[in-house]
Chains A and B, each alone.
Chain A
Amino acid sequence: MSDGFLVARRRWRVVSAALPGLPQLLTGRWGTGWTVLLTWLGCLWVLTARYERVIGALGGAWDQSLALVTLVVSLIVAWTWSWRDVSGSDRPLGIGVSQWDLAARAFSKNHTAVAGLIVIIALYLVALLTPLLAPYDPAFQGNLITERYVGLSTVHPLGTDNYARDVLSRLLYGARISLAIGFVAVSISVTIGTLLGAVAGFMGGIVDGLIMRFVDIVISFPRLVLLITIIGLFGSSIFMIVAVLGLTLWPGTARIVRGEVLSLREREFIQAATVLGYSKRRIILRHLIPNALGPVIVAATLGIGNTIVLEAGLSFLGLGVQPPTPSWGTMVAVGRDDLLGAWWLSTFPGLAIVFTVLAFNLVGDGLRDALDPRLRT
């Protein structure tokens, strides 16, 4: 390496150490730059502005501890990411570029998708940091006579609702519920769907027939009716909603994976794996599933968006998350009666739903393009 390169690297390292993300922004890589910079500044702001709560979170409730861990980890990750990024890798250029690397490169050129990804990262960070961020407790009621329906103000940035609760705080806590439900439900359904789809596609014959008929049965169940029945029987809890959504959404993934596996199975590298004496388990888990993962990731990303809308719809109808636990759907429902007098009640949770789902869809579409098998060689 030349001296010039080393000097330049030292200089960028200094910049990076002072303000992570800045070197990337200055060299025109705004996606990475903004993500790192905003994470760094945001977390520093929380650390200073909410100092007492950060201290109080030590040994606090589990969500406070989680927020504290998130805060520390984000700071460390943002800083080291930027540092390692400007340091460059010791790996020679062009060696060991995997298909995932190629997909990541294609994705990073898609600006709308990158913007969506930044929004999603920000949303999850905010959701995790909520106990440190939110100005009030979501269930805290102010003076019911003087503090109901207060408009936007410095004390209540997004106003208060019919019970004199702070809308911003409820919105933040609601983000936790919506994002968690979307993420967990989709994780469950993707895991089940991928495994069953891969087994069905690889084994074929009777196993395939049984699994796919089971898929048909699950798909033909009207999901809403099933949800209402189960909630009617067992009462509504977040756990129930996640379980029902997770256990009914997997057939889509199973079909996608089965289709992929059916075509992969005929490829020579799967034959080669058999010739090398690998077990069926190893072939399915290590050779088939990683190759079928592209469409699954796309479906999962879009699925999180859909699940969030579904949950909001259920909560709007009063079937989902029960008050006083805040959820975006419930908040929209509550504000519906006061739409003319207190527009902020429904508007902000509504916008939150729209932007979140939009972000997931943008990222999903970007991933679909980036993982397009036609780009592979």
Chain B
Amino acid sequence: MMEPMLRVQDLRTYFFTDQGVVKAVDGVSFEVNEGETLGIVGESGCGKTVTSLSVLGLLPEPPAQIMAGSSVKFLGDEIIGADEGRMRNLRGNKISMIFQEPMSSLNPVYSVGDQIAEVLRVHRRMGRKEARDEAIRLLDEVGIPAPDRRVAEYPHQLSGGMRQRVMIAMALSCEPKLLIADEPTTALDVTIQAQILELLEELSLSHGMAVLLITHDLGVVAEVCDRVVVMYAGQVIETGTVNEIFTEPAHPYTRGLLASLPSVTNSGRRLNSISGTVPNPVDWPRGCRFRERCPEAGDGCEEEQALVTLESAGRSSRCCKTEAVNLTGAG
């Protein structure tokens, strides 16, 4: 089997605070293969963003600490504990990231062209003129009309969708192998969301770039992802391809998430919701962390749950009832 481009293994990121140890990410493992789009889904506060920031080594230490035994391998090299110089060379160059809030992700005092050119000048050592031409080309590639004029525009003159496109152009400028997109469409309105997702998909295909898409929106996942990792309370609770997750969700939490989506069949009725909230990360419940909110909780749920591999290699679930449920589901 081919070595995955990014392999995260048993990642534990704890925050040491006055209130206690916040186990924001507690033993997360997943892989991103070359060119694929992996979605990480979960409610707010389940550790998605901390996972991505840990991968890039962007969390301030202290209070954050990536615990011993955690491993993040990018193209076969361990990057946990890598020195700042190596990480800097990786960031923006091999791994890029775009953020949720395009309104504040661009520096207000420079024109967008200057900001894209800066990345090129830092990482690809381009000259002034060359960087500017490349910036115009990138703006064109991310679908900004009249790029030769827009290049002189300042962030406050652009709409949210345009700004997100500029962010994507900056992220793409060094042809990264991996793009981490943290809720890239949450702050945008629906029509723009669809355009941005389409753009990401297109670029991922044309550049052979893998995308790690972090979102709480299952609609987004269905649209662009190849595989999905569902996170809950700092753990991975289910993995699988998009098809598997949507047609045969194995974990009750995933089923809850899916049931709370509006669809054609339940139109006109009240949407389902998962009762309760994500538990306090200082003190995760013993046993299955979803137990208190789980409609199917019963015997065996007090035990610590292991991530069990199901029928295929990339398919797993962290629920002791998975098999039983699957049988009844099939029957």
Residues of A within 8 A of B (CB): 91-92, 94-100, 267-269, 271-279, 282, 286-287, 290-291, 376-377
Contact = CB atoms under 8 A, between A and B. Distances in A.
Interface in B155-211: 156-157, 167, 170
A291 B107 CA distance: 8
B152 interface: yes
Given A95-B152, A96-B152, A97-B154, A272 B105 contact: yes
B96 A276 contact: yes
20 contacts: A95-B157, A96-B152, A96-B157, A98-B154, A271-B99, A272-B105, A272-B170, A273-B107, A275-B58, A275-B92, A277-B88, A277-B89, A277-B92, A277-B123, A279-B88, A286-B118, A290-B110, A291-B108, A376-B156, A377-B156
A248 to B, nearest CB: 30
A99 B156 contact: yes
Interface of B: 56, 58, 87-93, 96-97, 99-101, 104-111, 118-119, 122-123, 149-150, 152-154, 156-157, 167, 170
Contacts, number: 84
B91 A274 contact: yes
Given A275-B92, A277-B123, 7 more contacts: A95-B149, A96-B154, A268-B99, A268-B100, A276-B119, A277-B87, A278-B88
A269 B99 CA distance: 9
A13 B157 CA distance: 32
Contact of A272 (B109, B122, B154, B167): B167
A291 B106 CA distance: 12
B59 to A, nearest CB: 11
A274 B118 CA distance: 13
A99 B153 contact: no
B141 to A, nearest CB: 18
6 interchain residue pairs of minimum CB distance:
A96-B152, A276-B92, A277-B91, A277-B92, A277-B88, A275-B97
Given A99-B154, A268-B99, A376-B156, A278 B107 contact: no
A272 B119 CA distance: 11
B58 A274 contact: yes
Given A98-B154, A276-B119, A277-B123, A269 B105 contact: yes
Contacts of B58: 271, 274-275
B206 to A, nearest CB: 22
A269 B92 contact: no
